[in-house]
């Protein structure tokens, strides 16, 4: 099988990482894999397979030029499956599909939606208008799938759910790494909370910072590390900045998240909206007790293996974080083991790759999905 993945960028994000992991699994199964990327990012995930970089400008001529290059590449690569991810790439894949419809052997097109919110009404309208040029749409959580169907952006007959996968072998705790990283980060005996994600509105870090300020009042032996690219100044004014509050560290973009997870004692996600947060699943795989807001696919992911609180409620977030800190080490280990077991049973990357492979074959064979 020949599979062409299409991404908006290779930037350091969850959707991009998920596609690379999936593509690597498909290549290891003997399938021929390639990737098209619409735009360049300063920081990118490394890849081990061919990549066509279109570097599209956001102008009509830039998009048309990109489509022409992509069409030529598709004609040479001749994929059986064209699998795109996130809104810009999904719409580009549909436009490309429209250009290829008159050619023989045009690929089956799959779009994957990675978030509950992918833009306003105009984007939903674009999804509706271009629907004939996609064969299958999937979402990474039932919450995302239900919302897009409810908004009539995607017809229910085309929508499916295929959740993200985690490489549980990679995200495994290691005591020696924990000791080394805590020493390097000067964690001492403090209880360390970690949050991972870009400094963007969806992550609602102001909510987390308000909650953590109250956590510190109740327990001064607490620190909060936030790993993710973005400007701290983009957060609401009046909130603690790293130079003003040593208990809160903004670590910027990090490629050693697995090391950071090992060094920490709990993971917190304060998002206002999500799809299926990979960082949360990675923390669960590392046997961390997790506290997360009830958004997107969070409840589907955690079930009873962590603590779930309402979004935009800093008091509830504070209470849950303090409850975790007061559990005691043995109880936290119990939650951590349950979290890892849930990831292994329901969100294994190897199992998800098999599900994707089966879906690809059904589409190629023309069977109803």
Residue 62 and residue 179 in one domain: no
Cβ neighbours of 51 (radius 10 Å): 14
Residue 24 lies in a domain: yes
Residue 264 and residue 254 in one domain: yes
Split at pLDDT 50, 70, 90, the class of 242 is: very low
Scored b (16 or more CB within 10 A) or e, 117-151 reads bbeeeebbebbeebbebbbbbbbbbebbbebbbee
Calculate the average pLDDT of the chain: 93
Residue 212 and residue 200 in one domain: yes
Is the pLDDT assigned to residue 103 strictly greater than 80?
Answer: no
List, as one string, the DSSP characters of 216-249: HHH-SSEEEEEE--S-GGGSPTTS--TTT-TTEE
Residue 93 sits in a domain whose CATH number is 3.40.50.2000
What percentage of the chain exceeds 90 in pLDDT? 87
Alpha helices in 233-348 (DSSP H): 257-263, 278-285, 298-302, 314-325, 329-346
Alpha helices in 159-272 (DSSP H): 175-184, 205-218, 257-263
Residue 210 and residue 335 in one domain: yes
Residue 121 lies in a domain: yes
Task: Give the structural domain span for 12.
Answer: 2-165+348-364
Split at pLDDT 50, 70, 90, the class of 245 is: low
Residue 93 and residue 144 in one domain: yes
- How many domains, the chain? 2
Higher pLDDT, 267 or 240: 267
Residue 199 and residue 115 in one domain: no
State the first-to-last Cα distance of the chain, in angstroms, to the nearest integer: 18
Higher pLDDT, 240 or 166: 166
Residue 221 and residue 301 in one domain: yes
Residue 369 lies in a domain: no
Residue 170 lies in a domain: no
Listed range (41-45, 183-187, 320-324) with the worst mean pLDDT: 41-45
Residue 186 lies in a domain: yes
Is the pLDDT assigned to residue 241 strictly greater than 70?
Answer: no
Is the pLDDT assigned to residue 239 strictly greater than 60?
Answer: no
Residue 214 and residue 83 in one domain: no
Residue 161 and residue 206 in one domain: no
Task: Give the per-residue pLDDT at 233.
Answer: 77
Residue 13 and residue 156 in one domain: yes
């Amino acid at each position: 099988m020949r599979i062409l993945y299409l991404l908006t960028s290779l930037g350091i994000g969850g959707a991009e990482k998920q596609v690379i992991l999936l593509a690597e699994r498909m290549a290891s199964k003997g399938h021929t894999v390639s990737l098209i990327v619409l735009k360049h990012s300063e920081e990118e995930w490394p890849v081990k397979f061919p990549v066509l970089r279109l570097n599209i400008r956001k102008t009509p001529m830039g998009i048309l030029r990109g489509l022409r290059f992509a069409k030529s590449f598709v004609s040479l690569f001749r994929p059986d499956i064209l699998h795109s991810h996130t809104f810009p790439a999904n719409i580009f894949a549909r436009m490309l599909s429209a250009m290829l419809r008159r050619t023989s052997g045009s690929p089956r097109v799959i779009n994957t939606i990675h978030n509950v919110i992918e833009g306003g009404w105009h984007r939903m309208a674009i999804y509706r208008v271009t629907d004939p040029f996609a064969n299958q749409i999937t979402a990474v959580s039932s919450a995302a799938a239900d919302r897009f169907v409810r908004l009539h952006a995607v017809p229910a007959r085309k929508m499916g759910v295929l959740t993200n996968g985690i490489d549980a072998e990679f995200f495994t705790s290691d005591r020696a790494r924990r000791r080394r990283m805590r020493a390097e980060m000067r964690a001492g005996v403090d209880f360390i909370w970690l949050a991972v994600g870009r400094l963007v509105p969806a992550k609602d870090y102001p909510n987390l910072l308000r909650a953590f300020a109250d956590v510190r009042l109740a327990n001064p032996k607490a620190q909060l590390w936030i790993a993710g690219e973005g400007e701290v100044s983009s957060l609401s004014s009046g909130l603690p900045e790293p130079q003003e509050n040593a208990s809160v560290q903004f670590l910027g973009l990090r490629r050693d998240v697995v090391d950071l997870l090992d060094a920490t004692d709990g993971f917190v996600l304060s998002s206002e909206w999500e799809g299926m947060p990979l960082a949360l699943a990675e923390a669960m795989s590392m046997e961390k007790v997790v506290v997360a807001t009830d958004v997107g696919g969070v409840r589907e992911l955690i079930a009873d293996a962590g603590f779930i609180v309402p979004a935009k409620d800093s008091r509830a977030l504070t209470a849950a974080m303090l409850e975790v800190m007061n559990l005691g080490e043995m109880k936290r280990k119990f939650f951590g083991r349950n979290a890892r077991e849930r990831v292994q049973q329901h969100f294994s990357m190897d199992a998800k790759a098999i599900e994707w492979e089966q879906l690809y074959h059904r589409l190629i064979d023309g069977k109803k999905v």
